[in-house]
């Protein structure tokens, strides 16, 4: 995976291959290492091939782990990808919630959280693709988890408390649909750093440039289009 691809979502770190033979390492360390390598492997394989074309063989090849060992940790491809997605989702949401801006006015908190979102996605194109593009292709429980993750992401951007007269579910769906569409377009069509079967796997600079557009999208339902545009154009 290109720059950082082997460090999927921060939690998928430290998966260097163990030396062959009797190394004397504790079993718990070996198990953690193998599982992390498989999670990195599925992210790498799915980003390169797409979910539907990814096989157990391509995951184990990327992880440098045997097929037999794969089945010690996961039932199938969906189980493995779902576990990787869960870790990516947690890292994305934790990063947004930890963004500076506590005590600041709501528009500034929104800006800080969206900047954190773009920062995480800009650091690793493979993670971005696995977070926003491939879950719907996976279908089933992974697609359901994606929809839940998008709802949680939308909740981090609401005013506190949200105006009671607004239909929050509809507003959230429109907001997340807009955010995801802008990011996915940039992932697919910007000048590539690395290429996959769908085209470019993206560049961090182009993703970060989306911040004013995303801020405007998030603020407009509550502040109106003109005020949202003014806030989005303001210096961070």
pLDDT in tens, 57-90: 999 999 999 999 999 999 999 999 999 999 999 9
Same domain, 161 and 214: yes
Q: Tokens in use for 127?
A: 């993670």
Same domain, 150 and 217: yes
What kind and span of H or E run contains 137? helix 134-138
The whole-number pLDDT of residue 195 equals: 44
CATH number of domain containing 187? 1.10.357
Domain of 213?
79-233
Distance CA 93, CA 95 (A): 5
Same domain, 22 and 98: no
Prediction pTM value: 0.80
Q: Are 188 and 198 in contact (CB under 8 A)?
A: yes
Residue 157 has what DSSP assignment? T
Q: Are 128 and 202 in contact (CB under 8 A)?
A: yes
The whole-number pLDDT of residue 206 equals: 83
Residue 168, exposed/middle/buried by CB under 10 A (0-12, 13-18, 19+)? middle
The whole-number pLDDT of residue 121 equals: 93
Same domain, 124 and 22: no
CATH number of domain containing 69? 1.10.10.60
The whole-number pLDDT of residue 28 equals: 67
Same domain, 71 and 132: no
The total of structural domains in the chain comes to: 2
| Alpha-carbon 172 to chain mean position | 18
Same domain, 187 and 208: yes
């Amino acid at each position: 995976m290109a720059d950082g691809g082997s460090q999927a979502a921060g939690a998928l770190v430290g998966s260097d291959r163990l030396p062959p033979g009797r190394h004397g390492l504790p079993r718990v360390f070996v198990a953690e290492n193998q599982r992390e390598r498989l999670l990195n492997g599925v992210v790498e394989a799915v980003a390169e091939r797409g979910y539907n074309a990814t096989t157990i063989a391509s995951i184990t090849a990327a992880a440098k782990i045997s097929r037999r060992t794969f089945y010690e940790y996961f039932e199938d491809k969906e189980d493995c990808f779902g576990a990787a997605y869960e870790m990516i989702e947690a890292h994305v949401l934790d990063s947004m919630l930890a963004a500076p801006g506590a005590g600041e006015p709501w528009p500034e908190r929104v800006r800080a959280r969206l900047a954190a979102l773009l920062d995480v996605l800009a650091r690793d194109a493979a993670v971005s693709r696995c977070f926003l593009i491939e879950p719907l292709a996976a279908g089933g429980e992974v697609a359901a988890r994606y929809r839940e993750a998008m709802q949680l992401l939308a909740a981090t951007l609401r005013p506190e408390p949200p105006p009671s007269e607004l239909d929050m579910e509809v507003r959230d769906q429109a907001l997340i649909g807009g955010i995801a569409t802008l990011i996915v377009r940039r992932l697919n069509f910007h000048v590539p750093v690395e290429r996959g079967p769908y085209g470019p796997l993206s560049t961090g600079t182009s993703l970060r440039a989306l911040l004013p557009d995303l801020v405007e999208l998030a603020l407009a339902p509550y502040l109106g289009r003109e005020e949202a545009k003014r806030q989005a154009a303001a210096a961070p």
